Amino acid sequence: MNPETITADAAGTWTLGDLSVRRMGFGAMRLTSRADGGPSDRDRAIAVLRAAVELGVNHIDTAAFYFSSLRSANELVNSALAPYPEDLVIASKVWPGRDTAGTWWWASPEQLRGQVEENLRQLGRDHLDLVNLRLPRSAVTESVADHFGALAELRDAGLVRHLGLSNAGSRHLAEARAIAPVVCVQNPYGVGAPAKETAFMRACGEQGVAFVPFFAIAGAGREAGAPAAEAEEVLAVARAHGASPAQVRLAWTLQLGPHLLAIPGTGDPAHLAENVAAAALRLTDEEMARLASPGWTG
Ligand SMILES: NC(=O)c1ccc[n+]([C@@H]2O[C@H](COP(=O)([O-])OP(=O)(O)OC[C@H]3O[C@@H](n4cnc5c(N)ncnc54)[C@H](OP(=O)(O)O)[C@@H]3O)[C@@H](O)[C@H]2O)c1
């Protein structure tokens, strides 16, 4: 596949509320640090963001809590892209916070406004296009009503255009939708995902809710990134298409349904072009089924 000529358009579009986005987006989490944990090169991170937009990406996922010792994802987005293109949709996340030393904390419903305003200041905007309520893992069986209700009030006040959920399950989605419209669910998901997660991914589509997988490339490596040894099933499909394993993983998610939106994260300009080019990769039904088999996540 030739990354030079393929743009995000090749994946088509989806509408988040009233905002049209290309289904091939970008995640900003990897912009702030190098693989060895040190702060990223600022010029390189800015170049990656500008290249993403030049390649047609108009859906960027970020968060105020994406920062390293010297870099803030929101500051990089602002510096690279403001004044923002009119069609750019910036999604952020609240509920987790990190203090100046990087220590995590969790906001009360009343503290969500401060987190939204922190994002507004850093991004240099008067409203956020999309805010995901990012649940703590411990909230699997807990109600999100108080927190989501507080975000719905910020939406009514005009600080936020649209709301989503992250790290959520079907009960959270039902609870939130009874309070205010939910335009997306952002969850970890990728090849070999358990059947339960696939059922939820499909249920989102049936309700008109976008499903935005993260760790689609990293898989079981999660925050640490893609494992050094790629699964043989992915390698075989990649060889058949002259594509990279990362491209196969991204294409697989996009092909699951029109409501799937990709947000691959990278701080590497070559990886960015490669990932965007996956927008044009089409897998066969047999390849789709082979990569769907639950039980392996390598
Ligand atoms: N809601 C949440 O709780 C949550 C959690 C995690 C992430 N997110 C969001 O989702 C986005 C995607 O998740 P992610 O960035 O963690 O994981 P990802 O997109 O699955 O994978 C990123 C990892 O894969 C590497 N990579 C990217 N493109 C590659 C390529 N073409 N070839 C080889 N390696 C490649 C990156 O390293 P290089 O930089 O070297 O390319 C990085 O280590 C994040 O950026 C963030 O915006 C949300």
Residue partners of 224: CB distance under 8 A and separation at least 6:
218
Q: What is the DSSP string of 262-289?
A: B--B-S-HHHHHHHHHGGG----HHHHH
Minimum CA distance residue for ligand 1 atom 5 = 214
What is the dihedral sign for C-alpha 136, 21, 204, 257? Answer: negative
Kindly state if the Cβ of 271 falls inside 6 Å of ligand 1. Answer: yes
- Return the best residue to mutate from 41, 59, 215 for the ligand 1 pocket (most ligand atoms within 8 A of CB): 215
pLDDT score recorded for residue 226:
84
Successive 10-residue mean pLDDT values, the chain, 298 residues: 82 98 98 95 98 98 98 98 98 97 96 98 98 91 95 98 98 98 98 95 98 96 87 96 98 98 98 98 97 68
User: Which atom of ligand 1 sits closest to the CA of residue 187?
Assistant: 1
Quick one: angle between helices 112-123 and 145-156, nearest 10?
A: 50
Question: In angstroms, how far is the first alpha carbon of the chain from the final one?
Answer: 24
User: Which atom of ligand 1 sits closest to the CA of residue 225?
Assistant: 43
Kindly state if the Cβ of 97 falls inside 6 Å of ligand 1. Answer: no
- pTM equals 0.97
Contact 277, 3 (CB under 8 A): yes
What is the dihedral sign for C-alpha 65, 70, 75, 80? Answer: negative
pLDDT score recorded for residue 5:
83
Alpha-carbon torsion, ordered 154, 156, 161, 167, to 10 deg: 50
Kindly state if the Cβ of 45 falls inside 6 Å of ligand 1. Answer: no
Query: In 10 A of CB 100, how many CB atoms?
Result: 6
Q: Of all helices (H) and strands (E), which one includes residue 92?
A: strand 89-94
pLDDT score recorded for residue 296:
56
- Whole-Å CA distances, 67 to 98, 100, 104, 180, 230: 9, 10, 12, 30, 28
